Each structure stands twice: as structure tokens, then as C-alpha cells.
Chain A
Amino acid sequence: GESVGLHLPTLSVQEGDNSIINCAYSNSASDYFIWYKQESGKGPQFIIDIRSNMDKRQGQRVTVLLNKTVKHLSLQIAATQPGDSAVYFCAENRGAAGNKLTFGGGTRVLVKP
């Protein structure tokens, strides 16, 4: 059976507040970054992406910030809703060609009503 305990960093946030999820990457050559959301028992779902020639990109209620100097990526979720409760992964594209994604460690977001 499954091992007990998922030792993921957890962010607890009040419904309506903003959430910030952080991610550090290691490969300076990575030129494409993506945030995925994974709900329990489901596959990862694309949220937003950003190329290395940008430092900010906005979507609907989400913003991704990229700091190449310190190899840091963040995802900001505005007005967090109960449906935002999930595990969030950052991923980088290290493939010379194609879309091989390397996922970073996930962060569990728990939205409190």
C-alpha cells in the first residue's frame, strides 16, 4: 500500500487571501517554466507558463514571476478559492528538443473557508 505521510510543504491560506508558492530551479540552461496543479487522484493540470526572456506573466487570477538571477520561480494566486486546494508543481523544460519536463517538489495548498 501507500507509504504513510506525504511530506510536502504545505501552505494554508484563508479563502479570499492571496497565495504565493515558491520554487527554486537548478539548471541555468532551462528556458521554459510551467506551473501545474494536481488535485487528489488526478493528473497534473497546466496552469501557466513563462519563457526565460520574460520575468512576469499573468493569467486569470494567477501570476508567475521568474527571477533568473537567483533561479527562482513563484506562482501567485489571487483571491484563493476552495477549488484551488491542490498540490502545485513547478516544472522546467530541459529537453534539447521536444517537451521533456522536469518537475520540482510540490507544495500543497490548503484553503480554509
Chain B
Amino acid sequence: AAGVIQSPRHLIKEKRETATLKCYPIPRHDTVYWYQQGPGQDPQFLISFYEKMQSDKGSIPDRFSAQQFSDYHSELNMSSLELGDSALYFCASSLASGGAATGELFFGEGSRLTVL
């Protein structure tokens, strides 16, 4: 079965540079979520999109932005990178059942960002 695809899997950037992560949700899933997971930490919710509109916002820095495109893929843009941005970034997707909370998010393998 098709899963959530994230790219790139690994990314190395210098401080103050910009990075873009991409996420391709499971076909027919209409909701995309971004999570950040630091070493030894639990995943922290950043932002989510439902039908291409931002649906919820978490602890996403102002330096980050995200959007969901017409084909439902999503991109997370990170600017003015800091050392503390080094983390695993997970994208997840789900199919909203009329807005009912089912909780079954399907996660991708993650993109590991290292900021030097």
C-alpha cells in the first residue's frame, strides 16, 4: 500500500540558510500534518492542513512556513536556520471523516535536517 513519502530523507544546511521539505500524503488523504522531533524527544506538532487550508497551528516558529498544494502535497519552508532546528521532521496524513477525530495519522519516514 502507498505510504506517506517525504523528501529529502537527509539534508545538511549551514546556519542562516533556507531549507524546504516535501511531503506527499497517502492518495485520497485530505489532511497533512507536520511534526518536529528532536533527539530523544517526542514529536511536536507544527502545523496541519485540511483541503489545502491551514487547519491547526502548533509550535511552529515564525521563520517556518508551510502550505498544501492543489495535488495535496505539502511543503515546509524553513528560513534563517538555527542549530536548534536540527531534528527529524515528520509529515503525516489522514482522511478526515467529516471532521471526526479518529487519530489514525499515517507518518512518513521523516526528513532529517542537520544544521551546521
Contacts and interface: CB of A to CB of B under 8 A. Distances in A.
SS of B interface (majority): loop
A103 B42 contact: yes
Contacts of B50: 98
Interface residues of A, number: 32
A46 B31 contact: no
A89 B33 CA distance: 17
Contact of B40 (A7, A45, A100): A7
Nearest to A44: B107
A49 B48 CA distance: 21
Interface of B: 4, 31, 33, 39-40, 42-45, 48, 50, 55-56, 58, 86, 90, 92, 94, 96, 99, 101-110, 114
Interface of A: 1-3, 5-8, 31-34, 41-46, 49, 89, 91, 93, 95, 97-106
